Chain A
Amino acid sequence: MCLAIPGKIIKIDKNTAVVDFGGIKKESALDLLSDAKIGDYVLVHAGFAISKIDKDDALETLKLLNEIDEFKKLPESGTNKKNRK
Chain B
Amino acid sequence: MRSMNSKNFRNPALIKKIVNNIHQLADKPVNIMEVCGTHTMAIAQYGIRELLPPSIKLISGPGCPVCVTPAEIIDEIIEISLKTDTIIASFGDMIRVPGSRTTLEKMRSEGSDVRIIYSPLELLGLARDNPGKNIVFAGIGFETTSPLAAAVVTRAKKENIKNLFIVPAFKTVPPALRLIADNRSLRLNAFLLPGHVSVIIGSYPYEFLSKEFGLTGVISGFEPVDILYSIYLILKQIKTNRPKIEIQYSRTIKPEGNTKAQKLLDEVFEKSASEWRAIGNIPGSGLIFRKDYNAFSSRSKFNIKINKPKEPKNCLCGKILMGLKTPEECPLFGKQCTPQKAIGPCMVSSEGTCAAYYKYI
Contact = CB atoms under 8 A, between A and B. Distances in A.
A65 B329 CA distance: 34
A1 interface: yes
Q: What is the size category of the interface that chain A forms with chain B?
A: 35 or more
A71 to B, nearest CB: 5
A13 interface: no
A82 B56 CA distance: 12
A22 to B, nearest CB: 15
Q: What is the size category of the interface that chain B forms with chain A?
A: 35 or more
A46 B9 CA distance: 24
A74 B19 CA distance: 12
A48 B123 CA distance: 13
Contacts of A51: 199, 252-253, 258
A62 to B, nearest CB: 11
A33 B16 CA distance: 37
B54 A83 contact: yes
B321 interface: no
A51 B18 CA distance: 28
Interface in A37-54: 43, 45-48, 50-54
Given A1-B91, A85-B328, A31 B155 contact: yes
Nearest to A83: B54
Interface in B37-58: 37-38, 46, 49-54, 56-57
Contacts of B140: 1
Interface string A58-75: 101100100110110111
B151 interface: yes
B196 interface: yes
Contacts of B119: 29, 46-48
Given A51-B252, A85-B326, A29 B93 contact: no
Contacts of B49: 83-85
B251 A2 contact: no
Interface in B125-168: 140-142, 144-145, 147-148, 151, 154-155
B220 to A, nearest CB: 13
A67 B12 CA distance: 11
Given A1-B65, A1-B93, A48-B148, A83 B53 contact: yes
A71 B5 contact: no
B199 A50 contact: yes
B155 A74 contact: no
Contact of A58 (B7, B251, B261): B251
A33 B223 CA distance: 24
A1 B37 contact: yes
A66 to B, nearest CB: 10
A60 B46 CA distance: 18
B197 interface: yes
Contact of B16 (A54, A60, A70, A74): A74
B351 to A, nearest CB: 7
Given A32-B260, A48-B148, A53 B8 contact: no
Given A74-B16, A80-B52, A67 B197 contact: no
Contact of A1 (B66, B258, B326): B66
Contact of B5 (A43, A50, A52, A54): A54
Nearest first, the 5 closest Cβ-Cβ pairs linking A and B are A47-B119, A57-B251, A31-B151, A54-B251, A2-B144
A74 B224 CA distance: 12
Interface centre among B38, B53, B260 (most CB of A within 10 A): B260
A2 B36 contact: yes
B96 interface: no
A23 interface: no
Given A53-B252, A83-B52, A83-B53, A45 B20 contact: no
Interface string B212-249: 00000000000110000000000000000000000000
B264 interface: yes
Interface string B98-130: 000000000000000000001111100000000
22 contacts: A1-B140, A2-B196, A3-B38, A32-B264, A33-B258, A43-B252, A45-B196, A46-B119, A46-B120, A47-B121, A48-B147, A48-B151, A50-B261, A52-B252, A53-B251, A71-B10, A71-B46, A71-B224, A79-B51, A83-B54, A84-B361, A85-B57
